[in-house]
A and B are shown apart, each in its own frame.
Chain A
Amino acid sequence: MIALVAAFLFSFVGPVTVQAATAPDLGAAESYAVFGKAGVTNDSAVGTTHIWGNVGADATNVTFLDDATQVDGVIDSGVGVEAAILSAYGELAGEGVTGALDLAGNNTVTPGVYTVGATNLDGTLTLNGEGVYIFRSSSSISTSGPAQVVLTNGASACDVYWQIPTAMTIGTGTVMVGTIITNTAEITLATGASLNGRALSRNTQVTLDSNSITEPVCTAAVSGGGSNQYTATINVVKTVINDNGGTKTVADFPLFINQAPVDSGVTNNFYFFFPGSYTMSETSDPGYTQSFSGDCGSDGQLYLYSNENKFCIITNNDIGAPVVAPPVPPLIDVVKVPSPLVLPDGPDTVNYTYTLRNVGTVPVTDITMVGDTCYPIALTSGDTNADGKLDLTETWVYNCAKIISETHTNTVVATGWANGLSATDIASATVVVNDEIVPPLIHVTKVPSPLTLLAGGGTVTYTERITNPGTVALSNVHLTDDKCSPMAYVSGDVNGDSLLQTTETWTYTCQTNLTQSTTNTASATGEANGVTVRDLALATVTVAAAVPALPNTGLTPEKEVSSWNIGLLAGLITLASVLLIAGLKKRFN
């Protein structure tokens, strides 16, 4: 079913080709990384193969695969998998052809259906762009030498399929990508070959030897889409703390959702039919610690339900020589307001206004605004001294216009830098199309005090303010913080009606003790007209690791004497001069 929806999606948003490729329905085979009807054999008795996913085969023919240490799933007989493979094989065979391709050498292709014959992949096959890639052979396929498949510009292992009537032989060290389906012959992975995809041998076996096979779990980053086809989103946001001499930036930490690469701040749309657990990860750096916040648990996982927009914050903090003076972190705040909020008569242009402020104590540089719906987000005013820095006194205003065709919640992620630390804020806004319902807006600002602590840490007070930048009052307003509780309401409900009016600012505080640099995330929610909205606010507090040395407050006891010594010396010089002059005078007389 997922594949069917994918096919539906790509029929709309896939690349422009003569014949748009559509993904087959893998059915029961989808959750299997490896299936060999006649067996799955790991040739290396030392057992270094690792499979992330399920393994299906006649249980008596699975050899040298340990389901505790080598297979990150189950090993079973794969009920219904053979029939599913056959069905998918038939779907792949039935698709219209984009063109022929000789796999020898280096090639770059865009999404489509390619007939590859009985060729040998011995170079780099680059898959360039988002969409479905199908490689269809009339015979067997092999790889050799430095063969590899490279994904660029949104291409995903989820969308790559190899349809092979006979055998697939993946040579030593090859980096292979995609779901490989062979009909009558075996799939062989030679020593050290890796596969980001599936090895599905309908009728025979799969032979392994010290391999790494990763079953892809599909995400689809579809730009500018509406909400109907996509049931939930995840946005992974990277923050970096360089408070010990580190120099890495956001781009130095590639991000993944279920091992599929994603970009920081970019909303990823998911289509699925049951809630599920998703795992955020990154290419870590030994010089940095890693921590998760936002909707992610400490293990980087979150549970995604239908119609949710979730955010996972991954913070990397450099490991280095202890520093006495903690750098002052930047702190920014972004508000996004669409106009109009509702399009009762159908698709029309919506103007988004983004207001960015500096709520910290240091100017912020290298500002980026990443939106998931509207482009370009253009700075229209605010940098009054034109220095490219978001100064404490400045309010930067951005604008973007886009035709919105269906009810949609979109997001902007603002990022800036100061003193080696990044600051991030997130704003979301919903526009309703073909309905009279006016969606609410909510906004939260978080300011820690102090922003820095000396070694040993101390108490930090977070002051959080919720405002309503929309047009309708909010009910059921709640504020939580992932690393500070309880969040105590202080004031703001002026008329005491428990509704956050557009004119009100509700203030909360929370105290916590920090012993190390910490980025935490506040989440404010509210409801109006049956629509629940949410806003997040992130803030970093740096804590030094080295204690200041004690001051040398002592005065040199001899100091007063030394002044007299200088005076005495001057007197002696004068006396010597007098005597010398007197002697000379006597001599010349």
Chain B
Amino acid sequence: MQLSNLFKLSLFLTIIVGIVFFLVITFFLPPNPSSQDSVANSVVSVNDQVSQITAVNGPTKDIQAAVFTEQSEPLIFFHLSIPKIGVATAVESVGLTPQGAVDVPRDPANAAWFNLGPRPGESGSAVITGHYGRWKNGEGSVFDDLNKLSQGDNIYIEDEKGETTTFVVRESRKYDPTADAPEIFSSSDSKVHLNLITCEGTWNNEAQQYSERLVVFADKE
């Protein structure tokens, strides 16, 4: 009889533990948007100012620059608004991945400003990236509808002082993921540009990425 009670107790505890485990796994697991993003975000802390940067196809080099995305809470510098596709989101600040690629927002609902280039509104080509694709519970990403933008559509950037700069879409282009495309990051016309980047095409499970990149080129109004 005592043994029977012991088994009853064990059975009860096991069921409780199982239910708790199930609930935790199902409801409290933080959204982990993408295996690629995990790699991108597992970078050197910005507190360690002297970091290693890997040159593209080249050796490493010591350099003092806060170019990596920090692991702490993302810094929000701007707010991005694109009324036509219903985007109204915070813009994080990101740098390069250790592989020399432009980093991506930590939060799929956010966009990210590439902080090695000019700030949006400054002379030159500012770059903002955003995720594409379905994530937790089927929710969409910030730039899912970027391909619906067309020439003449407005993009608004509000900086930390509350000042808004308006950009007008000039064109959209598709790129191979490995493209060497300086025109996205630099310009020599002394004007103010904003270029938005996201993914497009079909998912390649082996490469863990989509087959194309979509870049929307916009100019200050």
Tell me if A458 and B25 are in contact (CB < 8 A): no
Query: How would residues 408 to 441 of chain A score, 1 for a CB under 8 Å from any chain B CB and 0 otherwise?
Result: 0000000000111000000000000000000000
Distance of A83 Cα from B181 Cα, bound (Å): 71
Tell me if A549 and B182 are in contact (CB < 8 A): no
Tell me if A588 and B3 are in contact (CB < 8 A): yes
From known contacts A455-B186, A547-B182, A552-B101, infer whether A559 and B34 are also in contact, taking CB-CB under 8 Å.
yes
From known contacts A325-B67, A585-B4, infer whether A454 and B56 are also in contact, taking CB-CB under 8 Å.
no
Query: How would residues 539 to 580 of chain A score, 1 for a CB under 8 Å from any chain B CB and 0 otherwise?
Result: 000000011111111111101100110110011011101100
Tell me if B188 and A458 are in contact (CB < 8 A): yes
- Is B197 in the interface zone, CB < 8 Å from A? yes
Query: How would residues 104 to 121 of chain B score, 1 for a CB under 8 Å from any chain A CB and 0 otherwise?
Result: 100010000010111000
- Is A328 in the interface zone, CB < 8 Å from B? yes
Contact residues of B with A, CB < 8 Å?
3-4, 7-8, 10-11, 14-15, 17-19, 21-22, 25-26, 29, 32-37, 40, 53, 55-59, 61-65, 67, 95-96, 99-104, 108, 114, 116-118, 123-125, 129-138, 141, 143, 175, 177-190, 197-199, 203, 208-210, 213
Distance of A566 Cα from B24 Cα, bound (Å): 10
Task: For B114, give its contact among A320, A547, A548 (CB under 8 Å).
Answer: A548
Tell me if A563 and B136 are in contact (CB < 8 A): yes
Quote the shortest CB–CB distance from A389 to chain B (angstroms). 11
Contacts of A454 in B (CB 8 A): 116-117, 182, 185-186
Tell me if A567 and B25 are in contact (CB < 8 A): yes
Tell me if A589 and B4 are in contact (CB < 8 A): yes
Tell me if B178 and A325 are in contact (CB < 8 A): no
Query: How would residues 499 to 543 of chain A score, 1 for a CB under 8 Å from any chain B CB and 0 otherwise?
Result: 000000000000101010000000000000000000000000000
Distance of A563 Cα from B175 Cα, bound (Å): 32
Supply 21 A–B pairs (Cβ within 8 Å), ascending by A: A326-B116, A458-B123, A458-B124, A458-B186, A458-B187, A459-B123, A547-B56, A548-B100, A551-B213, A553-B141, A554-B34, A554-B36, A554-B132, A554-B133, A554-B199, A567-B25, A567-B26, A574-B18, A578-B14, A581-B10, A588-B4
Tell me if A323 and B55 are in contact (CB < 8 A): yes
Tell me if A419 and B100 are in contact (CB < 8 A): no
From known contacts A556-B36, A571-B18, infer whether A551 and B64 are also in contact, taking CB-CB under 8 Å.
no
- Is A388 in the interface zone, CB < 8 Å from B? no
- Is A322 in the interface zone, CB < 8 Å from B? yes
Distance of A458 Cα from B114 Cα, bound (Å): 16
- Is A362 in the interface zone, CB < 8 Å from B? yes
Distance of A513 Cα from B199 Cα, bound (Å): 31
Q: What total of chain A residues lie within 8 Å of the partner, measured CB to CB?
A: 59
Whose C-beta in chain B lies nearest to the C-beta of A511? Answer: B190
Distance of A459 Cα from B153 Cα, bound (Å): 26
From known contacts A550-B101, A584-B7, infer whether A574 and B15 are also in contact, taking CB-CB under 8 Å.
yes
Task: For A574, give its contact among B21, B187, B198, B199 (CB under 8 Å).
Answer: B21
- The listed residue with most B CB atoms (<10 A of its CB), out of A328, A454, A511, A515, is A454
Tell me if B55 and A546 are in contact (CB < 8 A): yes
A sample of 9 more A-B contacts (CB under 8 A), given A327-B64, A552-B104, A553-B143, is A323-B55, A324-B96, A419-B63, A419-B64, A450-B118, A511-B190, A550-B175, A574-B15, A574-B18
Contacts of A453 in B (CB 8 A): 124, 186
Distance of A550 Cα from B97 Cα, bound (Å): 10
From known contacts A513-B188, A555-B131, infer whether A548 and B96 are also in contact, taking CB-CB under 8 Å.
yes
Contacts of A99 in B (CB 8 A): none
- Is A461 in the interface zone, CB < 8 Å from B? yes
Distance of A327 Cα from B55 Cα, bound (Å): 12
Distance of A579 Cα from B34 Cα, bound (Å): 36
From known contacts A547-B182, A547-B185, A570-B22, infer whether A553 and B56 are also in contact, taking CB-CB under 8 Å.
no
Complex A-B, nearest 7 residue pairs according to Cβ-Cβ distance, in ascending order: A321-B58, A574-B18, A456-B186, A456-B182, A555-B133, A549-B101, A554-B199
Query: How would residues 295 to 331 of chain A score, 1 for a CB under 8 Å from any chain B CB and 0 otherwise?
Result: 0000000000000000000000000111111111000
- The listed residue with most B CB atoms (<10 A of its CB), out of A513, A548, A571, is A548
